[in-house]
Structure 1
Amino acid sequence: MTPDQSLSSYDYHLPPERIAQTPVTPRDRSRLLVLDSPTSFQHQRFYQLVDWLQPNDLLVMNNTKVIPARLHGRKTTGAPVEVLLLEEKSAHIWLALVKPGKRFTLGSEVVFTAPNDLSQTLKATVTDRDPETGGRFLEFQLPANQSLWSVLDEFGEIPFPPYVTDSEAAPDQYQTIYADTPGAVAAPTAGLHFTPDLFEQLDQKGINTTFVTLHVGVGTFRPVEVEDITAHDMHYEWIDVPAETIEKIRETKAKGGRVIAVGTTVVRSLEGMAAASRGELQPFRGRTNLFIYPGYQWQVVDGLITNFHLPKSSLLMLVSALISRERLLAVYQEAIAQEYRFYSFGDAMLILPEAKYFSSQGL
Structure 2
Amino acid sequence: MQLETKIHPHGFSLPPSLNASHPPERRGLRRDQVKMMVLDRVTGNVVHEQFNQIEKYLNSGDILVLNNSRTIPAILKGTLHRNGKVIGTNVEMRLARKKNDSEWEVLIVATNVKSGDCFKFSEILEANVIGKVFKSPLKMIQFNLQGKDLYNEIYSTGEPIRYEYIHHAWNLDYYQTVFASQPGSVEMPSAGRAFSWELLLKLQLKGVKLAFLQLHTGLSYFLDDEFVHSPEEHFEEYSIRQEDMEAILKAKDSGAKVIAAGTTVVRALETAASNSTIQGWTNLYITSDYELQLVDGIITGFHEPKASHLDMLAAFVDEIKLLEAYNLAIEQKYLWHEFGDINLII
Residue from 105, 108, 111 that aligns with 2:117:
108
Cα pair 2:231 2:283 within 8 Å, conserved = no
Distance 1:306 1:146, change over 3 A: closer
Q: Which amino acid is 2:67 matched to?
A: N
Which residue of 2 is the match for residue 150 of structure 1?
A: 152
- Give 1:163 shift: 3.3
Cα pair 1:7 1:224 within 8 Å, conserved = no
Partner of 1:323, secondary structure, is: coil
Cα pair 2:125 2:153 within 8 Å, conserved = no
- Give 1:209 shift: 0.7
Write the distance in 1 (CA, Å) between the matches of 2:128 and 2:139: 10
Write the distance in 2 (CA, Å) between the matches of 1:27 and 1:145: 32
- Give 1:150 shift: 3.3
Cα pair 1:32 1:44 within 8 Å, conserved = yes
Distance 1:224 1:40, change over 3 A: farther
How much is the aligned-residue C-alpha RMSD, in angstroms?
A: 2.6
Query: How do 1:200-349 residues align onto structure 2 when only pairs under 5 Å count?
Result: 200-218=201-219, 233-277=232-276, 284-349=278-343
Partner of 2:295, secondary structure, is: coil
Confirm or deny that 1:32 pairs with 2:41: no
Write the distance in 2 (CA, Å) between the matches of 1:271 and 1:145: 29
Partner of 1:124, secondary structure, is: strand
Gapped regions of structure 2 (runs ≥ 5): 81-85
Write the distance in 1 (CA, Å) between the matches of 2:74 and 2:169: 19
Which residue of 2 is the match for residue 171 of structure 1?
A: 172
Write the distance in 1 (CA, Å) between the matches of 2:292 and 2:34: 29
Which residue of 2 is the match for residue 140 of structure 1?
A: 143
Which residue of 1 is the match for residue 190 of structure 2?
A: 189
- Give 1:124 shift: 2.4
Which residue of 2 is the match for residue 45 of structure 1?
A: 50
Distance 1:297 1:145, change over 3 A: closer
Q: State how many pairs are aligned.
A: 331
Q: Which amino acid is 2:13 matched to?
A: H
- Give 1:51 shift: 1.1
- Give 1:123 shift: 2.9
Write the distance in 1 (CA, Å) between the matches of 2:64 and 2:294: 12
Which residue of 2 is the match for residue 99 of structure 1?
A: 109
Confirm or deny that 1:59 pairs with 2:64: yes
Partner of 1:78, secondary structure, is: strand
Write the distance in 2 (CA, Å) between the matches of 1:306 and 1:194: 12
After superposition, what is the alpha-carbon deviation per residue over 1:212-242, rounded to whole angstroms, capped at 9, x for unaligned? 1100113x55799899x9x863322111122
Cα pair 1:22 1:168 within 8 Å, conserved = no
Partner of 1:32, secondary structure, is: strand
Write the distance in 2 (CA, Å) between the matches of 1:145 and 1:275: 30
Write the distance in 2 (CA, Å) between the matches of 1:299 and 1:103: 46
After superposition, what is the alpha-carbon deviation per residue over 1:276-323, rounded to whole angstroms, capped at 9, x for unaligned? 12xxxxx51111111101111110000110000122121111011211
User: Identity percentage over the alignment?
Assistant: 34
Write the distance in 1 (CA, Å) between the matches of 2:152 and 2:168: 28
Q: Which amino acid is 2:88 matched to?
A: G
Cα pair 2:20 2:335 within 8 Å, conserved = yes
- Give 1:203 shift: 1.1
Write the distance in 1 (CA, Å) between the matches of 2:173 and 2:231: 34
Confirm or deny that 1:15 pairs with 2:12: no
After superposition, what is the alpha-carbon deviation per residue over 1:186-206, rounded to whole angstroms, capped at 9, x for unaligned? 111110000011011101111
Partner of 1:233, secondary structure, is: helix
Distance 1:269 1:124, change over 3 A: same
Confirm or deny that 1:78 pairs with 2:88: yes
Write the distance in 1 (CA, Å) between the matches of 2:112 and 2:130: 13
Cα pair 2:238 2:280 within 8 Å, conserved = yes
Cα pair 1:224 1:312 within 8 Å, conserved = no
Write the distance in 1 (CA, Å) between the matches of 2:100 and 2:284: 25
Which residue of 1 is the match for residue 83 of structure 2?
A: none
Residue from 42, 49, 73 that aligns with 1:68:
73
Cα pair 1:91 1:147 within 8 Å, conserved = no
Q: Which amino acid is 1:45 matched to?
A: Q
Cα pair 2:63 2:258 within 8 Å, conserved = yes
Partner of 1:34, secondary structure, is: strand
- Give 1:8 shift: 3.4
Partner of 2:249, secondary structure, is: helix
TM-score, length basis structure 1: 0.84
- Give 1:19 shift: 0.5
Write the distance in 1 (CA, Å) between the matches of 2:6 and 2:245: 35
